[in-house]
Amino acid sequence: MISFIVIGKNEQHFLKQSLESVKAVCTSLATSTEIIYVDSASTDGSVEIASQLRDVTVYELTADNNAAIARNVGAELAKGEILVFVDGDMQILPEIIEAFFDDNLQLLHPFISGNWENQYYNDHGEPMHREIYKKVACDEDKYQYTTGGLFAITKELWNRCGGMNNTFAKGQDLDLGFRLSKSGTLLLRRKHIIAVHHTVHYMDKNRIWKDFSNGSLVLPRAILYRTHLGNKFVLKRMISSDPTMLYLFTAICASAIGFYETLFLYPILVIAGISYSHGWHGIGQAIIRAFHQVIRDVVNILAFLFYIPPKNNNIKYKRVNG
């Protein structure tokens, strides 16, 4: 059996589309399947939307909740030997079958994913442009150390690594990837486009400040870096994703022993990084992005040194339908 585990919190605008796409793929698979939806205490009607769909078993977390807990609960309840995890704002495509499975409907690799397109929306929920998710995109099959919100894994491997770490309210998929890579299992990223991810643009100013307030810009980075500091893939990610933070930390250490001039290069690197990653779209936007980058680097360094995330051990849930 193949178990599709969809998780979500306040995804009412896209959840039905996500679940319907999973149902369509299940119909195309010539094997037994199940669809489990685990909701993280939504307040927008997501549970009601999911409960109205046939062939979807709905559970709701009633105590501690985050994406890691939701996936762990879904995996615990799943009957399948293969687990396919889907975020509730993702619409999976029929190409996922060819990307993930062989002719016998076994996974081509015990830990596998693919490419997806981001469909961006503005503050009013109106669709904007669409693009491939560049952080993980590949033109040919490639082994990576990171996952994202859509991947498949054998239940045996999932159980062997202990599932997801409930401590990570954010970045739990990266933590899983780091742990599996250290034990010798990398993610196979297929070149196929397997989903459309409906989301707000990552550089939207409202999203940026929301991510600051809920810790999204801290937990996936600083705590992961500290937890997996001995993993060679962590240094690779720090260099590729947070070079200015890495330099600022080094410059602060150097200035502590008298090399103050190293700090003066930091703002130049920030400006160069913004220019390389996003280009220039007006001085006002450039200033906002530079300010955001500096705050993010400082907060991440402080979190790396001092922040201890709370443990989430109060796991309770209830079945909503069926």
Question: What is the overall mean pLDDT for the chain?
Answer: 89
* Reported confidence tier of residue 59, pLDDT bands at 50, 70, 90: very high
Q: What is the mean pLDDT of residues 3-10?
A: 96
What pLDDT does 103 receive? 95
What pLDDT does 202 receive? 62
Cα–Cα distance, 95 to 293 (Å, whole number): 37
Cα–Cα distance, 169 to 16 (Å, whole number): 24
Query: Is the model more confident about 276 or about 8?
Result: 8
Q: Which residues contact 257 (CB under 8 A, 6 or more apart)?
A: none
Q: Is the pLDDT of residue 286 over 80?
A: no
Query: Is the model more confident about 61 or about 170?
Result: 61
Instruction: Give yes or no for a contact between 66 and 169, defined as CB atoms under 8 angstroms apart.
Output: yes
Which amino acid type is present at position 216? S
- Domain ranges in the chain are 2-203+311-319, 220-306
Please report, rounded to a whole number, the percentage of residues in the chain having pLDDT higher than 90: 57
Per residue in 295-314, pLDDT (tens digit) is 889 988 998 999 888 888 89
When mean pLDDT is compared across 94-108, 139-153, 206-220, 255-269, the lowest value belongs to 206-220
What pLDDT does 213 receive? 63
Which amino acid type is present at position 74? G
Cα–Cα distance, 60 to 6 (Å, whole number): 12
> Does 2-203+311-319 carry CATH code 3.90.550.10?
yes
Cα–Cα distance, 224 to 221 (Å, whole number): 5
The answer to pTM > 0.85 is: yes
Closest CA to 106 of 152, 151, 145: 152
Nearest 5°: CA angle at 10, between 6 and 12? Answer: 80
Please report, rounded to a whole number, the percentage of residues in the chain having pLDDT higher than 70: 90
* Reported confidence tier of residue 215, pLDDT bands at 50, 70, 90: low
Cα–Cα distance, 267 to 273 (Å, whole number): 10
Residue 198, φ and ψ in degrees, nearest 5: -90, 115
Closest CA to 3 of 55, 67, 48, 40: 55
What pLDDT does 121 receive? 87
In the DSSP assignment, the letter for residue 208 is: H
What pLDDT does 167 receive? 86
Q: What is the mean pLDDT of residues 227-232?
A: 88
Closest CA to 91 of 181, 24, 154, 140: 24
Q: Is the pLDDT of residue 79 over 80?
A: yes
Cα–Cα distance, 210 to 296 (Å, whole number): 13
